[in-house]
Structure formats: C-alpha cells, structure tokens
Chain A
Amino acid sequence: MRQITGNKLLVRALKEEGVDTIFGYPGACTIDISDELYKQNDIRVILPRHEQALVHEADAYARTTGKVGVCLVTSGPGATNLVTGLATANYDSVPLVCFTGQVARHLIGNDAFQEVDIVGITRSITKYGVTVRRREDLGRIIKEAFYIARTGRPGPVLIDLPKDVMGELGSAEYPKTVNIRGYKPNTSVHMGQLKRAIKMLKKAERPLFLAGGGVNIARANSVFTEVVDKTNVPVVTTIMGRGAIPTNHPLFIGNLGMHGAYAANMAVSECDLLFSIGTRFNDRITGKLHAFAPKAQIVHIDIDTASISRNIHVDVPIVADALEAVTKMNEYVEPCETEEWMKQIKQWKEEHPLTMKNRAQMGPKDIIDEMNRQFDDAIIVADVGQHQMFVAQYAEITEKKQLIMSGGLGTMGYGFPGAIGAKLGNPDKTVIAVSGDGGMQMNIQEFATAVLEELPLILCVFNNEYLGMVRQWQKLFYGKRYGMTNLRAGALYRRTNGEQMPEYTPDFVKLAESYGAKGIRVTKKEEIAAAFEAAKKNEKVPTLIEFIIDPEELVYPMVKPDGTLEDMIMDC
C-alpha cells in the first residue's frame, strides 16, 4: 500500500473535510506543512500578521459561513498566541480546528526551543485537545477533530503535531466514519417535554420568548420567526441572539440584560412564562439571580445539558438542537392570547424608549442609524466596549444581516480580524467592523492582511480617546477617577496637563493610508452619510472611517452591577 507523510495526509484530510480556506502563520515546526500547502491550489492560505488575529479571523469565518474554521500555527509562541482566540471561540461556541506545531517527540519535556505544552495550557478553553503521538492515529484524530468541533455544542478543537510524527510515512487513508465512545451528541427533541412546554406557552397570560446565540448558531432564525408569528408571543434576545427574529418585527421587544432595553428587562421581570432557547443565562443578562424572572416558570431549550439549570432553576429542561426544537414547535404551536400583554409592553416602550439624547454633536446612534439606512445586506462585526453595546442596541438585524461579536469572553481586538474572516467567507456581502480606538489598536497590524487580500471592508472606529466602557463605570461608580482609561495619558500629558498633545495618537487616517487603505475622518453628523457612500465605492481596498465621539456619551439603560434587572439607570 502507498505510504505518505503525515504532512501530506494533513493536507489531504483538509480537502476531504471540504476546507477551502486556512489561516496560517509559519514556523520551524510547521514548515513542512507550509511546503505541502504551497504545492496545491484547492485550499487558499491566508497569512494574517499575528496569531491572535489569525484565530479571530478563522472564528469569524466559521461564524459567518457555518463551516469549521481552520488554523495552522507553529509551536511555542505561535501556539500560545492562540489562547485568547480559543477562549473567545469556546465561550461563543464556534467550531474551530487549530493545528499547532510541536517539537519532535524525543524533545518534548526538554524545554526545547519553542516548546510549550499547548494542549495542557488550553485544556480548559477548548472542547477537545490532543497531541498526536503516533503517525497511525493522525487520520483518525483529524477526522474526530472536525466532527467534535462542528457537532453538539460547537467549539474549538486543538491538535498538536510533533514534527517527527508529521514527517513519518504511514497510511494514505483518511477515515470515512467517526466513532467516539465518549462523545455522542444528542440533538433530537424529547417530544413529551416539548409538548408540555408548548402547553404552558398556550396557558400563560404573559408568555415571553428569550432567544440566545444558540438560535443563530443553529441557523434557526427563519423557523423561529414563523413560530413567533404563529403564537403572537413577544421576543427578547441576548446580544448574541440579536437577529433571531428580525429586529424590526413587531413582536421584538429588544435585548435584555445589563444594557438591555427597558421594556425588555421589564418584560422578563413581569412575564409568567419565560420560554428560552439557546442561552446560558450569563450574569450579564440575568442581573441578580434570585430576582431574575421572579414571576415566571422557565422553559429552557439548549444543546448543552450543562447549561441547563446551572445559573437559573428551570421548570422544563429540554436538551436539543435549537433548529430541531423550533422546527418541531412549528408543527404544534397555536396562537396565544397576548393582546393585553403586548399593550403593557408597548406602554413600557413608550415610557422609556431605547434612545439617546439628541445633541447637535455627532453621537453613536447617528452613525448606527445611518448604517441601518444604507445597508440591508451586510455582516456587522463589533469589537468590545461601549460601541459594541451601541451596536447591539441600535443595529437593525434583518433577514439578510448578521451581527457577530465576542459576546462571552468580551475580547477586545476581535472586530477588525473578525471582519477579515467574515469577508473572506462572504465575498459578496458588505462587511462592516465597528470598533473603538482601544480595540482597533489591538489588532491594527491586520491592515496588511486586509489590503493585500483586497478586502473592501468598512472599518468604523468610534474614537473618544478613552477606553469608554471602563470609563463609564468610573464616571458612574468611581467618582470620575479615570485611572488607566485615558488613551492619551503619558509623560507628555502629565507634563503639559494635556494641553500640548499631538492632534491624534494615532492618526488613524494616515495609518490606514500607510498600509494602502483609505481613511476618512468624520467629526459632524452631516458627514456620516457621505463617508459611508465613499467607503462603498472602494471596491478593492478597506476603508477606515474614524468617527470622533464625545467621551461623555454613555450606554443607557444600565443595570447596576449586582442589581436586579428592574433596577436600571436610565440616564444621568
């Protein structure tokens, strides 16, 4: 039988798995794999400029295509640079297969050059991780990795590849089937439980759907919308669930949680049945646990048993894939009497609509409103911070739009590489990144990747010269002591009391131009529309639009830290 090296088998396996794009950064331990990839044309190899950006790119690629994102990095620092991205993907249930180089087997444990125990380091932030110790296991392990990554609750899988194992000759066969005795994900719905839940929905006087990221991951949005239409039951979403039904749908109330809409948080507090799908009741959405949905019975559908009844006591637990569950629901649900309930919700909406003070100065909402007007077929990638919350509150996510962000881990620096990954996976869609001046600088080197791959991204930077979200807490709860959040602070600032500063640090427009991208600076409301129009015309290069924002703009409402959902600060 013909024998091939592990390196060749890896490339063959990628093709069999239908991988069309791989995000890779080379090094001594993976140079042979780079060589095999060089010899073929089926898999496109993207070279980001930092491994952290690399894994975010693969992550966003996966989130926006539904395929498994694939990373290849070298041993040691290449591998450790994946850590933040793996944790990001793990929290948000993103399917990734990450190959890390490793020193040869006889060197493992010797503190060899660029040797780290990456499987050990990432054990608690991956769904599965393994070092390939025998050449004959390689095919099976890769096959299992893709299967584990994409099934059940998706997640990142790490495969560590010692250089000598990869150079060894062995079978050219790539297995066709998988059988892992300890891993049998269950997706089918327990119909008895589901029917019980549906009965409760019908009986409830103030029923409420809570949709989390699981609805989006399972691509259950359109069926879920049908269920909502049939039942007339209103919907709140987590920020990861935004878009589970179109945000302009009359039954959509808003996001719940720390920066949720007033009406949404009130609806959760007053409902008598909370029918939740694909959420893990994270502390940012529940507020104080004992006071969360105090009047409601709770139904919880989730693919992960361990997410059910962990934070919140659940009355009807249902372990199932969201799409399967919602599809089955669609067969059985009946219209519910929700007129009175909707009236109440409408009243809450009118009492405290989700809005920002209309000032003469340009505010975040003005920018996002314009974005809503100009783009109805787009992927929006948010970074982390105030701008992320503004986007989560105001961005309209309708059928042809998708919003992605680092929701669970809250990883600053996700936005820009996320946009690159999204665009590579969806060349026909407009991809807009929204970042702050802090997050943008965490992966700014990716301009090189974006420019050379000719990606016409629209990169919005909300620049307020501060790390705004932390500053917001300092303003509200720390007596306006802005420790560590002033992005202009330093010796010059201290010496001149902030009076003799360079105009910009950095000058984002010049920075973009230095990479060969376009840069536009917007300081007034009237310039917003034109800036987006100009960006749309740049078909082969990314456009950075820097919006100069007042740091005093805060995200409201805000549930007080450790407060209950009803305890919201509306404005100050």
Chain B
Amino acid sequence: MKKANTRKKYGTLISYLWSAPSLILICLIVIFPILYTGYISLTNMNVYHWFTYDVIGLRNYREALLVFDSGFLSALLLTVVWTVANMILQLVIAYLLANLLNTKGLRLRNCYRTLLIVPWAMPGYVSILLWKTGMFNSQFGLLNQWMEKLGFSPVRWLANDISAFVCCTIVNLWLALPFMITIIDGALQSVDQSYYESALLDGAGWLQRTRYITIPAIRPIIAPSVVITIFTTFKQFDVIYLLTQQAGAKTGAHIHTILTYAYENAFITNNYGYSSAVSMIIFVILILFSYVINMKPKEES
C-alpha cells in the first residue's frame, strides 16, 4: 500500500518535471504579466515617477472606478450587443458555408476551402486598413464608386454610428469567418454518415436532420472554439479602433467597446498605475463573463 503511494507520488513528480518547461513558459508569459499588472496597479508608476514609484495602495482603483461611468456602461452594453451580433452571424454564415463545402459531388472543393481561408492569412491590421480605404473611403472606396455609377451621392459609411457599426461587423466577419468555417467544416466531416442514412429512411427533411443529428453531433466539437471566439470578439480592439478612431483619422462615429473606451479615458494618460487598475477591473469583468458562459454547459451535462 505504502509502496504504491510513493510510486504514485514519484509518478506525479516526474510528470510535473516533464511539463515544467511549458509550465514555466505559461507562468512567464501569462501568469506573471497578470500578477505584475496587479502589482503596478497598486503603485504610482507614471511619467513623473517612472523609475522611482512607490506602493500607494488602492488609490488607483478609486480613480479607476470613476472611468466606469455612464459612458463606460453604454460601451459595455455596446460590447455585449457587438459580441452577440457577431457570434450569431458568424455561426449561421459559417455553418451554411461549411455545409455548402460538404455538398456531395462538389467540384474544386479544396480551391474554395483555400479561398475561404485567405482572409486569415493576411495580417488583421492590413485587412482592416484595406477595407477602410479600399471599400469605405468616400473618395476612393469601391462602394462609393458603385454608388456614383448608380447615380447616388457618395456616403461616408464610417461617419455615423449605425452604419459604422455595420461596417465594423462586416470587417470582423471577414476576419473571423475562416476560423469558424474551418472548425465547423471539420466537425461536419466527423459526423457518422449512417445517422443520416437511417434518418433519410425514416423520412426526415433537411431541417430535421440538421436539428436532431448535425447540431447535437457537432456541438461538443465547436463549443470550445465558440467560447474562444466570444472572448476575442468581446475584447476586440483593432477593428473598431482602426476603422473609426485611429489617431489622425477619426471618422465621426462614436462606437466604443470597453477597450477603446478605456484606451481613450485611461491608457493615453501614460499613468501606468492607473491604467493597470483599469485593466485589472476589465480583467475581473472578463473572468465573470467567462464564468457565466461556462456555467450553462455544466448544468446541462
């Protein structure tokens, strides 16, 4: 009994040693920055006390909570709307496209697959700016060239909140769809064909097959990627910032997610203590958010 116990302990120790390199790496690049941000948030590290900062307790948090004013609340609401809208559209479109890719007898399947993944291969920054000048620009953009050809006057797509929101969503879909399509495409291929055959024999239509076979079968496979995408969408910064608020190129739309709001109201102060406090609070909000999202599957199982 005792021998088995020491053996087990020895085994645990060895496994830890084996995974030590990756554990250390995770600690260095994930855990350490969070802890360090937490530490900085308790200090007065700013331009005037850059290398000689002191711990000042929770004073930064008192200031930081003031950032979470009505402007922040509407940014939070918009972030939720943004996440939900993007997720629904992403799942529906990716599901349809993946289904089309899996149509029996489809020719040039690999060619379509490659084409669909192209947006992913481009750096996001480049894609976003290409969309901004190539599509939405009121002087040179493709959309306005079409508008002019059709006899309408040019529109400044990014100048008002609603159309800017739609434009941002389109660009975000363009950037995010390849990932979703790949995942769903892979998931669809793993569904056992015999289920469909028996369903067909029982006279089930496409809708019924989708609802009772496909979706339950692929759900566990795509669930993790959905959670990941929810997070990346929730903390999306580049798309909205680069399209509407880039320094020197603001367009007039006032759509703020919590991150762009925090950037404009805290990070530009060069006050690292204060900005870290804001980051820590956003971090807590994200943790709560992930807790809420993860709660549901557990209840079901």
A and B physically associate? no
Chain B residues at the A interface, C-beta cutoff of 8 Å: none
Chain A residues at the B interface, C-beta cutoff of 8 Å: none
